[in-house]
Copies of this chain bind each other. A is one copy, B any other.
Amino acid sequence: MSDLAAALDILGARWALLVVDQLLDGPQRYGDLQRALGAPTNMLAIRLRELEAAGVLSRLPLKHNTRAYALTERGLALREPILALRRWGAEGAPP
């Protein structure tokens, strides 16, 4: 399996890259992510579990039953790929 395919295996699922992108703004809670992205709540829960398992993000326990999701070092390393993709997307829209 190529390195690209390996990356897409983790990030190719729907919402995955958008979740990481959102977390580049800093740690956020479940509800915040949900509202910011507009993703179905069950999908978000699944993606967060997968991304945690892949070592891209981690859960930080806050008070009582709330936690924050934050990117790990490996997750933060996605800043460049994401920026490159965003630039590409921007070049197709301006008009």
Binding site for B on A (CB under 8 A): 2-8, 10-12, 14, 17-18, 21, 55, 74, 77-78, 80-82, 84-93
Contact = CB atoms under 8 A, between A and B. Distances in A.
Contacts of A93: 3, 6
A79 to B, nearest CB: 10
7 contacts: A4-B18, A5-B18, A7-B92, A12-B17, A77-B88, A80-B84, A81-B87
Contacts of A87: 3, 81
Q: How many copies does the complex hold?
A: 2
Contacts of A6: 89, 92-93
A7 B83 CA distance: 11
Contact of A89 (B3, B21, B88): B3
A3 B86 contact: yes
A51 to B, nearest CB: 13
Contact of A86 (B7, B10, B17): B7
